[in-house]
Amino acid sequence: MEKLMKWDYDVDICDIFQNISDIQGSKTAIVCGENNISYENFNKQANRLAHFLRDVNVGKNTVVSIYSNRGISFAAAVLAVFKAGGAYLPIDPKFPVNRISQIIEQSSSNILIVSSELKEELYEKIKGSWIESTLNIVTIEEAIEINNNTDNLPIECSPDDLAYVIFTSGSTGVPKGAMVKRKGM
């Protein structure tokens, strides 16, 4: 019979992933449709994006908005935000601009990363809005290309720091954010 162990909340999600990545290396980490990526390459991609995020002052509890469909790039962006110490805020590409605006404003996010295939769609949606002129907007792929550093970042977060913010429609129709701590990961 297997022995059950008490979960160690002091071990960060990034440390857990890094340990798995070190062991699994070239094995497939994610399969999405026709695409797949190894643990090693996925970790390198996330590290490059995480270094970029740190360079633009993303740190402990900084909320980073992610406008992307689910896939490898989205997963890399989420892990990168964790590695940089931030908290991710998923923005559904199907949301209308007024909902996107409310969510970003309530979250105090000042950076929005978008997948390259949705960049034009996003810019069309936010054209002329405060989002366009206020937020630092970059594609996931551009951010990865900007920084060549694939080293793991030191994890400077505690289990009580913010991991992500998810918005519900709210009973009044105004989006309401629920905050989840890293120990919940």
| Domain total of the chain | 1
pLDDT band at 14 (very low <50, low <70, confident <90, very high): confident
Domain extent, residue 67, equals: 13-184
- Edge-to-edge strand list for the sheet holding 136-139: 136-139, 111-114, 63-67, 87-91, 162-168, 176-181
Establish if 50 belongs to a structural domain: yes
Q: Is the pTM of this model over 0.75?
A: yes
Per residue in 57-68, is it b (16+ CB within 10 Å) or e — as a string?
ebeeebbbbbbb
Establish if 2 belongs to a structural domain: no
Establish if 8 belongs to a structural domain: no
Q: What is the pLDDT of residue 58?
A: 95
Establish if 71 belongs to a structural domain: yes
Task: Select from 22, 45, 14 the least CA-distant residue to 185.
Answer: 14
CATH at 88:
3.40.50.980
Q: What is the pLDDT of residue 159?
A: 85
Establish if 109 belongs to a structural domain: yes
Establish if 68 belongs to a structural domain: yes
Establish if 7 belongs to a structural domain: no
